[in-house]
Structure 1
Amino acid sequence: MKLRSRRLLAGSVSAVAALAAGLTAITLPGTASAATSLNNSDVTANLWSWNWDSVSAACTNHLGPAGYGAVQVAPPAESVSLATSDSGVHPWWEIYQPVSYNLTSRFGTRAEFSSMVTACHNAGVRVYVDAVVNHMAGANNTLTTTYGGSTFSPSGYSYPAVPYVYDDFHHANDGYCSDDDAVIDDWNNVSEVQNCMLLSLSDLKTQSSTVQTKIAAYLNDLVGIGVDGFRVDAAKHVAKADFAAIIAKLNNTTAEGVKPYIAQEIFTGASNSELLPSAFTSNGDVLGFSYAMGLKTQFNNGTLGNLSTIPSWSLDATSAQTAAMVTNHDLERDGTTLRYQDGTKYTLANYFLLAYPYGQPFVYDGFTFSTSSTGQSPPADSSGFVTDTDCTNSAWQCLTRSTGVKGMVAWHNTTQSVTSASNWTTTSGNVIGFSRGSLGWFGLNNSSSASTATYTTGLADGVYCDRITGGASSTGCNGTAITVSGGTASVTIPANSAVAIDVNATSGGGTTTSPTASPSASATSASPSPSVTTSATPSPSVTTSAGTVAATFNVYATTTTGTDVYVVGSNAALGSWDTANAVKLSASGYPIWTSTVSIPSGTSFEYKYIKKDSSGNVTWESNANRSVSTGTSAISFDNSWNVANASATAVTFNETATTSTGQNVYVVGSIDSLGAWNTANAIPLSSASYPTWSKLVIVPQSTTFTYKYIKKDASGTVTWESGSNRSYTTGTASAYTISDTWK
């Protein structure tokens, strides 16, 4: 809750900022009790006011594959439903007026929330919840409708669904709030700020052990569902000792077995040192308001060179305890920070947020709004329930899934172990460059003209692929190629753009120890063609018997940032060959993409896989259509991109290997189906029968290939097995099994 003007909208509340991830990923060796494998990243996507189904889809299709460590979601507790207010129908701030701790909100049901947490964990992404615990709804509300049907009395301070009663709140001159109207007037008076009402919101008596227990029970309910941390709304308005007592009651998280991450909203600006953000860090991290405001100043004034002095800025807290941001839902509406309406400056600031070593970064995506009507609702139905996020619709902000930001997430994850910037170069007031040790170099041009200069990169000599424009492929660069020679590079940074290169995006592959023989990069199929390889226009199949069966589609397919894989086919369930209706596959097991679809039973149909990039461009496989039939039982299709069924065979790799905490086993080899020696595209093996790691892989028939096993730890470090490359030759049989032992 940001402290701004004391306007008394019908209990309106202004809540801020997302928190950033910072938990260390834990991936246990393959046992039945293995913990969830989460991305080892401190980058958070703040998907503010997105409904649960949309967050779930974002985790599966974008955030997990891009390497985000966490997603922050809006308050999930049941809130007041304001069909009318001074800010219009269902203003965004109604979600900061809880009426119960039930998980029925304008974003979805408890079941949908739980499914979202599971989907995000399956994609490797933690879930942080915006927790409103300082207050309940506005005491001056005249409407008492709610999203879940719970009743409450605003003036009577009664919330039966919790339950809270009158004595669970602060009141005027009650020995805690020494103010005649019980509303905060003196923003530097600690007692008033923490014991009186913020903007007429019913202030909970957090000194009470009863209230503390009920707040902790709500947070523990979320932890039990799988929530990994909390962004604590209006934390400045809860006494530090009171909040410390609540934290002490919290359970460990289910995914990692640690205390939940805490990031507190402590708005800057108070002159009383007890109310400064730095005074609250004993209870957790704080949101980086001063940092966000400082970025706006430098980007608007054309003085990017001043960003080199960030270590000397007077900021809210140390880097280690700051959830850094460019903006959030409060600040973008105030205009005190950069916001999406600032266009390229806003995008460039987010690139810098991910590049510069200060704080744990989060990237914000909300919904678009009119600067003359900042209280407006997110896109919703007539009852106020938020509709699905559609990134092709201008009503939503979707920066988190752009090619450039995804590329910068990968760059940040590669360089995050280096905690300082070096080789700082200020080419002009608007053009800068710096490196993160020997792991990556970043250049930024906040001007209307391209800039070419020579930079000391800190990198070893080689050809690197710019992350902003697409990164690396197994054979070259999808993004712009940058050559480093003698540690320096002549780099052209386009107008209003950036360049980011790092050791994990090099031309033709990564930088881990290479196999003991030169890998072959030859493809096993022709170049893909953007058309269906049928001789006539495909038509839907006819269902010959009633009912459906579950058909699981698994395909090995490597992609660039911003590209997803879909399955499309001849029946209606698979889109009737219409790519707009193709079924999107999940990349949670990348490079294996998967989805289960209900297909008519007793049916013959054809299908193919396609790739779509963020602009909607479609690439078809080059092989012939796959022809299959269903019976009455569930069926699974295991495929490899560009390898037709008729020329494919299934090879099951079994590798016996012990691992340490945080390690998993992969197979990588000389053919495209095995990653073409690119460890980023290696096949992850299942640990279900630990210490034997297994996976069925589709490869071409009558093909000789070489392969090896590798181990990857939670930070992405690769260990190759010793010895020479292994070799295998497939024939024309339908399946083969390989059993190996780590060497």
Structure 2
Amino acid sequence: MPNAKPPLRNRLRHFLAGAAVLAAGLTPLTAVTTAAPAHAAVTLNDSEVTANLWEWNWKSVSAACTNHLGPAGYGAVQVAPPQESVSLPNSSDGVHPWYEVYQPVSYKLESRLGTRQQFAAMVTACHNAGVRVYVDAVVNHMAGVNNPAGTKGYAGSEFSGPGYSFPAVPYGAGDFHRPGDNCPTSGGINDWNNEAQVTSCELLQLADLYTEKDSVRDKIAAYLNDLVGLGVDGFRVDAVKHIKKDDFAAILAKVNNTVSEGRRPYVAQEIFDGASNDALKARAFIGNGDVLDFAYAKGIKAQFQGSIANLATVPGWNLDAPGANVFAMVTNHDLERDGAVLSYKNGTDYVLANYFVLAYPHGKPSVYDSFAWSNRNQSPPADGNGYVSDTVCGSGWNCLTQSTGIKGMVGWANTTRSVKTVSDFKAVNDNVIGFRRGDRGWI
């Protein structure tokens, strides 16, 4: 059949050969020396590419930065939430499901991913390799209200979900939006286009913090400042759509400049797409930082499972926010489990899509690595107490960020970064495209 796709393995083989040639011909990565206090001077890679090592433990992130991410020219690594979270050894969703880390119990840096000392060592190791560290920050809520009194976190802190009591912070009942009080429903969100419900009611039965209160803002900011003080360079902020924009702006105003570069921490905000209310769309939040581009990721899937010739029309897509204000991705931990985007389960289509996102001038590109899963709620590889095991690539863990082709494309992205437009986009057919970024690179 003349219009049939060539076998994916052949498409990938030819692409990898081209990527290797391109990578071999690249100029050396340009590093940038940044002003910082004398005790923390570092040289960080001049790159906007992030490796998202979701739910890797701190020892494994350290090794990845040192051995792979730094030498390849990644600008940052995104890590999972580091605060103490609930421990759920016998939940209805299995033993220690992955979403534990999104249910904070306290702001202690003692988690299933490692200790405070291991976290600090990881930040230092990544900085020494030239890689910034972005933390997934959970600041909209604490653990679920369905966790009974006496439930413990990984550092041993007890709390009561029904009592809205988290003494290890401390937070009490007056620090939360509560049903029949300052939430206009019986607790949950019934109308996802109602701004009052979305910002003041409970997302998935998680205790929603009363971020209008300055005392609550101070505690959240103190947590973020603790991380900044350890060298953290930025944040992927969870569930930002569920915090009033002015409240989040007030929290950010209390956060210090970074230690390594003396500038404002990078902020990428999670705002799920699909709202018809303009106030809840991602572009409404860009005053507080970049936003995750969910629509772009979904569009990438549609074309790589259809015709990649349609990638010529990216500027005309109905995207969540302007390209200059987005954190671009092929997938993340939520989307891959819902099948809304490509994932490692899509094999070479997934690899090729990551090449495209690294090559195309839309937002700040990221590459995602996590663990293999067959049940959407299953735990990452861990011991019997829930503590996540060291990453061993190919043994339950995905390591696309360390592959030769992706490393070559990180160098390609860094070399072409100054050119923000695409020229000479050519679609040979549904399966073969090419374009250039000025005189810096062709793909």
- What is residue 531 of structure 1 aligned with on the other side? none
Q: Which runs of 4+ in 1 moved over 3 A?
A: 28-34
Q: 5 Å matches for 1:321-720?
A: 321-370=325-374, 373-393=375-395, 395-442=396-443
For structure 1, which runs of at least 5 residues remain unmatched after alignment?
1-23, 443-743
CA distance in 2, matches of 1:121, 1:230: 16
Secondary structure at the residue paired with 2:33? coil
Secondary structure at the residue paired with 2:268? strand
Length-normalised TM-score, structure 2: 0.91
CA distance in 2, matches of 1:207, 1:34: 35
Alignment equivalent of 2:80, drawn from 74, 83, 88: 74
For the Cα contact (< 8 Å) 1:231–1:265, is it kept in 2? Answer: yes
Code of the aligned partner of 1:141: N
User: Does structure 1 residue 56 correspond to structure 2 residue 62?
Assistant: yes
- What is residue 283 of structure 1 aligned with on the other side? 288
CA distance in 2, matches of 1:28, 1:166: 44
User: Does structure 1 residue 119 correspond to structure 2 residue 118?
Assistant: no
CA distance in 2, matches of 1:390, 1:335: 25
Deviations 1:593-638 (A, max 9, x none): xxxxxxxxxxxxxxxxxxxxxxxxxxxxxxxxxxxxxxxxxxxxxx
Deviations 1:67-118 (A, max 9, x none): 0000000000000000011210000001100000000000000000000000
Say if 1:410 and 1:25 are closer, same or farther in 2 by CA, change over 3 A. closer
Secondary structure at the residue paired with 1:316? coil
Length-normalised TM-score, structure 1: 0.55
CA distance in 2, matches of 1:58, 1:386: 16
CA distance in 1, matches of 2:302, 2:147: 38
CA distance in 1, matches of 2:152, 2:248: 30
CA distance in 2, matches of 1:42, 1:35: 20
The structure with the greater share of residues assigned to strand is 1
Q: 5 Å matches for 1:162-173?
A: 162-173=169-180
What is the identity percentage for the equivalent residue pairs of Structure 1 and Structure 2?
A: 64
Code of the aligned partner of 1:85: S
Secondary structure at the residue paired with 1:241? helix
| 1:30 shift after superposition | 12
Secondary structure at the residue paired with 1:38? strand
Alignment equivalent of 2:198, drawn from 184, 193, 198: 193
| 1:173 shift after superposition | 2.3
Code of the aligned partner of 2:380: P
Code of the aligned partner of 2:199: Q
- What is residue 135 of structure 1 aligned with on the other side? 141
Code of the aligned partner of 1:155: P
- What is residue 94 of structure 1 aligned with on the other side? 100
Secondary structure at the residue paired with 1:178? coil
Code of the aligned partner of 1:352: F
Secondary structure at the residue paired with 2:207? strand
- What is residue 248 of structure 2 aligned with on the other side? 243
- What is residue 512 of structure 1 aligned with on the other side? none
Say if 1:252 and 1:49 are closer, same or farther in 2 by CA, change over 3 A. same
| 1:312 shift after superposition | 0.9
Code of the aligned partner of 1:436: R
Say if 1:285 and 1:28 are closer, same or farther in 2 by CA, change over 3 A. closer
User: Does structure 1 residue 184 correspond to structure 2 residue 189?
Assistant: yes
CA distance in 1, matches of 2:92, 2:198: 25
CA distance in 1, matches of 2:265, 2:35: 23
For the Cα contact (< 8 Å) 2:183–2:197, is it kept in 1? Answer: yes
Code of the aligned partner of 2:316: S
- What is residue 158 of structure 2 aligned with on the other side? 151
CA distance in 2, matches of 1:46, 1:149: 28
User: Does structure 1 residue 296 correspond to structure 2 residue 301?
Assistant: yes
Deviations 1:464-514 (A, max 9, x none): xxxxxxxxxxxxxxxxxxxxxxxxxxxxxxxxxxxxxxxxxxxxxxxxxxx
CA distance in 1, matches of 2:141, 2:36: 44
CA distance in 2, matches of 1:140, 1:152: 11
For the Cα contact (< 8 Å) 2:36–2:262, is it kept in 1? Answer: no
For the Cα contact (< 8 Å) 1:206–1:242, is it kept in 2? Answer: yes
CA distance in 2, matches of 1:206, 1:93: 23
Say if 1:132 and 1:339 are closer, same or farther in 2 by CA, change over 3 A. same
Say if 1:158 and 1:137 are closer, same or farther in 2 by CA, change over 3 A. same
| 1:35 shift after superposition | 2.8
For the Cα contact (< 8 Å) 2:53–2:79, is it kept in 1? Answer: yes
CA distance in 1, matches of 2:88, 2:206: 15
Say if 1:134 and 1:33 are closer, same or farther in 2 by CA, change over 3 A. closer
- What is residue 17 of structure 2 aligned with on the other side? none
Alignment equivalent of 2:33, drawn from 9, 27, 36: 27
- What is residue 685 of structure 1 aligned with on the other side? none
Relative contact order higher in (CA < 8 Å, ≥ 6 apart) = 2
For the Cα contact (< 8 Å) 2:422–2:438, is it kept in 1? Answer: yes
Code of the aligned partner of 1:229: G
| 1:145 shift after superposition | 2.5
For the Cα contact (< 8 Å) 1:170–1:204, is it kept in 2? Answer: yes
| 1:34 shift after superposition | 7.6
For the Cα contact (< 8 Å) 2:189–2:197, is it kept in 1? Answer: yes
CA distance in 1, matches of 2:326, 2:257: 22
Say if 1:399 and 1:318 are closer, same or farther in 2 by CA, change over 3 A. same
For the Cα contact (< 8 Å) 1:25–1:256, is it kept in 2? Answer: no
| 1:172 shift after superposition | 1.3
CA distance in 1, matches of 2:94, 2:34: 50
- What is residue 310 of structure 2 aligned with on the other side? 306
CA distance in 2, matches of 1:25, 1:424: 30
CA distance in 2, matches of 1:25, 1:218: 30
For the Cα contact (< 8 Å) 2:336–2:343, is it kept in 1? Answer: yes
CA distance in 2, matches of 1:335, 1:141: 29
Say if 1:328 and 1:40 are closer, same or farther in 2 by CA, change over 3 A. same
CA distance in 2, matches of 1:34, 1:195: 40
Deviations 1:624-674 (A, max 9, x none): xxxxxxxxxxxxxxxxxxxxxxxxxxxxxxxxxxxxxxxxxxxxxxxxxxx
Say if 1:98 and 1:25 are closer, same or farther in 2 by CA, change over 3 A. farther
For the Cα contact (< 8 Å) 1:26–1:35, is it kept in 2? Answer: no
**Max radius of gyration: which structure?**
1
CA distance in 2, matches of 1:30, 1:399: 32
For the Cα contact (< 8 Å) 1:28–1:34, is it kept in 2? Answer: no
